[in-house]
Amino acid sequence: MEKFKAYHGLPGKESHGYSGLIQVSGGPFRSENDFINATREAGSTEVEDLQDSKSTGVSRGRKFISPEGKWQDAAHTYLHPRPQGGRHPNIHVLVESQVLKVIFDGGRACAVETVKAKKLVVLSCGTLTTPSILERSGVGNLKVLKQAGISASPIADLTPNETTDEIHSGQADIPALLASKAGYFSYLSRHITGPDLDDSLEFKTGYLTNKHDLDLKAQVWAYKVQRDTARRMAINQGELPYRNPVFPSGSNASYAMDAVGDNAPSSASKPKKNIEYLAEDDAIIEEWIRKTLTTCWHGIGTCKMAPREQLGVVDNSLGVYGVTGLKIADLSIVPENVCSNTMSTALAIGEKAADIFIRELGLA
């Protein structure tokens, strides 16, 4: 954390860094007071910092934005300044280019398309793209590679129980995995369907597919909490019908604050009690969630770091099993779900990866 984060909050927090390159602040524009007040009315407690690994409640979030309001990202902070002014003549950035696959020579990664690698190839293409490149390169499940038309002999074969396919296909014993703290509560399945970049991906989130409806119950709970919070906010002007389930007339879940604009109730008349839902209301919410649930962002773990016999794709030095000269440094290597902002996790992986590469290449 100290390496990459410059935290603009209370000093002395062990879970934050204060001298790094990436600015973390509330930014110049703050608008959370109404939300904080509403969560208090709903029974939550305001805490200083939810990122301290100890607190629970609600806090005034700080973001990857400078105090002046400039968005912070790895490209502008780490990469863009380096080639400027001739200070790092050994850095060459090839723009407007796509990577189809890694080229191997006798099991050793030696190039990416037309760019040769004398010592090392590092994939840092993200949770979805990195495994796609591996599969197009001949590294993956032999059955998947054959179905995708990867004609060359596979470089390395990963069996279904070395990937999340074991979970998605129903082969895994979910209660046993949870009991063993194997880190599963995600069911993403993603594979190539052909050898070219334009070939579509087979993408299955696996949402709402577990036998005990744990995902569905969590989503129902979240909907109720956010709804009770929103209706207490002063800025609330009623609900948009197309963004909510339709409850029967007379149900407590179909509360009266459905007017919008000038006809909306004043803040003084905002309800103070949580909505009471009947079993019939819960069933309506569940059906609505099944029809409307979508996914975005925060995907992790498609090439996880672990011993190979424990479903690992990379070892503890980020090397891909079954080949040499190839490493991965992005969120795809995360071994299990994290209770942290994934931007922080990605930056920490980058810093640790840099230390590993510097040491192994003898650059220290």
| pTM recorded for the entire structure | 0.81
Task: Tell me the CATH number at 323.
Answer: 3.50.50.60
Same domain, 192 and 324: yes
Kindly state the tokens that stand for 254.
């179909």
- Outline where DSSP puts E strands in 67-204: 102-105, 108-112, 115-116, 121-123, 139-140, 156-157, 189-192, 201-204
Residue whose tokens read 């579509």:
200
Task: Give the list of residues 6+ apart from residue 351 with CB closer than 8 angstroms, or none.
Answer: 3, 4
Range of the domain at 135: 102-207+297-360
**Per-residue pLDDT, 182:** 45
Residue 108 confidence (pLDDT) above 70: yes
Q: How far apart are CA 281 and CA 249, in angstroms?
A: 11
Label the pairing between strands 22-24 and 5-7.
parallel
Residue 1: count other Cβ atoms within 10 Å of its Cβ. Answer: 19
Same domain, 8 and 37: yes
Q: How far apart are CA 314 and CA 325, in angstroms?
A: 12
Same domain, 228 and 138: no
Number of domains in the chain: 3
Find residue 22's DSSP bridge partners: 5
Residue 78 confidence (pLDDT) above 70: yes
Same domain, 187 and 258: no
Q: How far apart are CA 221 and CA 214, in angstroms?
A: 11
**Per-residue pLDDT, 315:** 96
Q: 247, 274, 292 — which closes off a domain?
A: 292
Same domain, 223 and 334: no
Residue 179 pLDDT grade (very low, low, confident, very high; cuts 50, 70, 90): low
Same domain, 27 and 139: no
Q: How far apart are CA 227 and CA 275, in angstroms?
A: 9
Provide mean pLDDT across the span 132-160.
Answer: 81
**Per-residue pLDDT, 43:** 84
**Which helix (H) or strand (E) element contains residue 327?**
strand 326-328
Same domain, 25 and 61: yes
Residue 185 pLDDT grade (very low, low, confident, very high; cuts 50, 70, 90): very low
Same domain, 175 and 269: no
Average pLDDT score, the chain: 84
Q: How far apart are CA 93 and CA 26, in angstroms?
A: 33
Same domain, 243 and 321: no
Residue 259 pLDDT grade (very low, low, confident, very high; cuts 50, 70, 90): very low
| Contact between residue 285 and residue 135 where contact means Cβ atoms under 8 Å apart | no
Find residue 260's DSSP bridge partners: none
Q: How far apart are CA 34 and CA 235, in angstroms?
A: 8
Helix ranges (DSSP H) in the chain:
33-41, 74, 126-136, 142-147, 165-168, 174-179, 214-230, 279-292, 342-360
| Contact between residue 67 and residue 25 where contact means Cβ atoms under 8 Å apart | yes
Q: How far apart are CA 103 and CA 111, in angstroms?
A: 5
Q: 276, 292, 308 — which closes off a domain?
A: 292
Same domain, 203 and 113: yes
Q: How far apart are CA 193 and CA 199, in angstroms?
A: 6
**Per-residue pLDDT, 258:** 45
Same domain, 202 and 303: yes
Q: How far apart are CA 64 and CA 341, in angstroms?
A: 10
Kindly state the tokens that stand for 113.
């398309």
Determine phi and psi for 307, rounding to 5 degrees.
Answer: -55, 145
| Contact between residue 314 and residue 303 where contact means Cβ atoms under 8 Å apart | yes
Least confident of 114-118, 158-162, 300-304: 158-162
Using one digit for the tens of pLDDT, what is the confidence trace for 149-174? 987 666 666 554 444 455 444 555 65
Residue 263 confidence (pLDDT) above 60: no
Label the pairing between strands 201-204 and 189-192.
antiparallel
Q: 93, 128, 151 — which closes off a domain?
A: 93
Same domain, 271 and 162: no
